[in-house]
Amino acid sequence: MLRILHRLINITGKYKTRIRASYITAFIKGIMMKMPLMLCFVCISLFMSGDMNTEKCLMLGICVLISVVLEAIFEHISNVLQSATGYMVFADMRLRLGDHLRKLPMGYFTEGNIGKISSVLATDMVFIEENCMGVLSELVTFMISQGLMVVMMFVMDLRLGLLSLLIVGIFVLIGNLMLKTTIRHSIIKQEDCESLTEEVLDFAEGMGIIKSYNMLGEKSKRLTDEFEKSCKESIDFEVAYGPWARALYLAFGIGTASVLALSAYLYSIGSISDVYMVGITLFLFDMFMAIKSYYGQMARLTVTDASLDRIEEVFAAEELPDNGKLVFDDTSDGSSRIEYDDVSFGYTDKDVLKNISFKVGAGEMTALVGPSGGGKSTIASLLARFWDVKSGRILVNGKDIRDVSLGSLMDRVSMVFQRVYLFQDTVYNNIAISRPDATKEEVMEAARKARCYDFIMQLPEGFDTVIGEGGASLSGGEKQRISIARCILKDSPIVILDEATASVDADNERAIQEAISELCKNKTLLVIAHRLKTIKDADQILVVSDGRIIEKGDHASLMSNNGTYARMVSLQQG
C-alpha cells in the first residue's frame, strides 16, 4: 500500500508540495471530525463530577459549532489542494503524452499499440484522476489517526494498548494477503480493458468492410466475446476481493468487541476509572475505523497500480533521438538537395531496404516505381524520419538528417499521402494547421491554388464549416485537395507525393494534378507512383523491388533498356 501511495505521489511532479500540504489540512479536518465526540466526553465527565454549569454548557456548544465550521473549511482546502491538483497533474500528463507520442517512430503505431494508447487515455488516466487523487491525504490521515488511537489505548492502560496493537497487526496481515490477490486480478482486468478497447476500435473503423462482406455477425461475436470476457474478469475481481473484504469487517467486529470486553473487565477490577470507561465506550466504534477505511481503498488502489504500469509502459517507449544541432544551408533558390548514401533499414531483424543510394538535385523530381511491398513508401518515410536508418545515412544539403532537429527537418518537408486524414474542425483550421501564423488571405490563396476554394465556398459555412472526424463529410478528392492546400501553405522546399491520385475519379484527378503542379513549382520532389503516365517527365526514375534499386534513369533510357520499367509501362498501356 505504501509503495502504491509512493508511486501516486511521484507522478504529481511539480505539484508534490500541494499534495503534501493537503496532508496537514486533512489531518486537521480529521481532528475536527472527532472534536464533537471529544467534547461530548468532556461534557459527560463534567456531569459525572458535578462540575457542569450553564456557562460551561454554552461554551461546549460554541466549541462544537466552531469544530463543525472548521471541518468544512479544512475539507474545502484539502479538496482544492488535492482533488483539483489531481486534474492539473493529469492535464499536464496528457500534454506530455501527446508530446511523447509525436516523437515515437511510426512503427510504434503499427504494432497493435493503438488500443493501449486509447485505453491509457480513456480509462487508466481517468480512473486515477477521478478515483484516487482525491483520497491521498485521507489515506495518510487514516494511518496517523490509527496510530493516535493505539497510543490513546496505551495511555489508558498497557493491556488495552497491547490488544489494540495486536488487532491492528491482524488487519495488516489480512490487508497484505488481500493486496496480493487484488493486484493479480487488477493486472488481468486492465489487460482485458485494453483488449476490449482495441476490438471496439477495430470494429468501428472496419464497419464498411464488415458490412460489404456480410461479416456483421462474425465480427459482432468477436466484440461480444470481448465484452463478456471483460465482464467475467470484473466479476472474478469482485469474487476474489469479497472474502478478504468480509474478513476485514469480521476483524473490525471481533476487534471492537475484544476491546470492549477487556475494558469492561478492567473496569470491574478497578484498573480504569469511570471517566476512562465512558471515553472508551464513546470512541469504541471509531477505534479501528481508520485502518478499516484504509484497507477499504484496496480495490481502487490495486487497479491504480496496474493503470500506472500501463501508463509508464507507454511513456517508456523509445523516442527517436532528437539531439541534432546543425542548421541547413539553403541554396540560393531555397530548395534542397537530397542524397541516400548506402541506406539499409528493417522494421525488425529482416531488412526491408538494402544498400539504397541515389541523389536528387535541388528542384529536381525523382520518381519511385515498382511492385507493391518493394520499399517505395519506406524510402520516402525515412526522409521524413518516421524511422531512423539501420545503416548508411540520408543527407539534405549535405547534412545528415539525424544531426538536424526533427522540427527543423519537418519545416523543410511536406507530404501528400494517398490516405488523407482531416481533423474534426473547420476547413480553415485544417488548412492553417500547416502554418498557424498564416493570414486569412494566405489560407484562401492556398485553397485557390489547390483547386478547392470553389467547393469549400459551397459548403454550408464555407471555410468555417466543421467537417467530420477524418474528413468523413467530404469526398476522397476533396480531402486530397485540402491536404494539398496544407502543403502549398507550408511552402516547404521538399515535397513527398505518395500515390496522391491513386484512388480518385477522373474529374478529381485532373483537379488534383493541377493542384500538385502548383505545389511542386521550384520544389525538390520525391514521388511514389503506380500510374506511370504521371512520372514520364521525372528527372530520374528509380525502379524499386525487394528493397533494392534495380533500375535507374529517365523515362527514355529505361524504355530503351527494355527491362522491368519497360515491361511495367507496356502492361499498363496494354
The 10s digit of each residue's pLDDT in 398-412 is: 888 888 888 788 888
What's the confidence (pLDDT) of residue 330?
54
pLDDT in tens, 98-145: 889 888 887 777 656 777 888 888 888 888 887 777 677 677 777 777
pLDDT above 90 for 1: no
Q: Are 40 and 103 in contact (CB under 8 A)?
A: no
For range 57-68, the mean pLDDT: 91
DSSP code of residue 112 = S
Indicate the burial class of 209 (C-beta count within 10 angstroms; 0-12, 13-18, 19 or more).
exposed
Mean pLDDT of the chain: 82
Fill in the DSSP letter of residue 65: H
The Cα–Cα gap between 557 and 282 comes to 100
pTM of the model: 0.67
Report the alpha-carbon distance of residue 479 to residue 416 in Å, rounded. 11
Residue-wise pLDDT for 521-564, tens only, equals: 788 888 887 777 677 778 899 999 888 999 898 888 888 888 88
The domain locations on the chain are 2-315, 324-412+530-574
> CATH homologous superfamily for 324-412+530-574?
P-loop containing nucleotide triphosphate hydrolases (3.40.50.300)
Hey, what's the cell of 376? 517505395
Burial 275-286 (b: 16+ CB within 10 A, else e): ebbbbbeebeee
The rounded distance, in Å, linking the Cα atoms of 404 and 163 is 69
Q: 2-315 domain in CATH 1.20.1560.10? A: yes
Least confident segment among 20-29, 293-302, 326-335: 326-335
C-alpha cell of 409? Answer: 527537418
DSSP three-state, residue 389: coil
Give the confidence band of 331 by pLDDT, cuts at 50, 70, 90: very low
Above 50 in pLDDT, residue 243?
Answer: yes
Which of 408, 412, 405 shows the shortest CA–CA distance to 321? 405
pLDDT of residue 500: 59
Q: Compute the residue count for the chain.
A: 574
Distance CA 176, CA 293 (A): 15
Name the residue with cell 508530446.
99
pLDDT digit string, tens, across residues 494-513: 888 887 555 555 566 677 77
Domains 2-315 and 324-412+530-574 share a fold: no
Helix residue ranges per DSSP H, 520-562: 555-561
Looking at the predicted structure, is the pLDDT value of residue 296 above 80? no
DSSP reduced 3-state for 56: helix
Higher-confidence residue: 192 or 159? 159
Label residue 9 by pLDDT band (50, 70, 90). Answer: confident
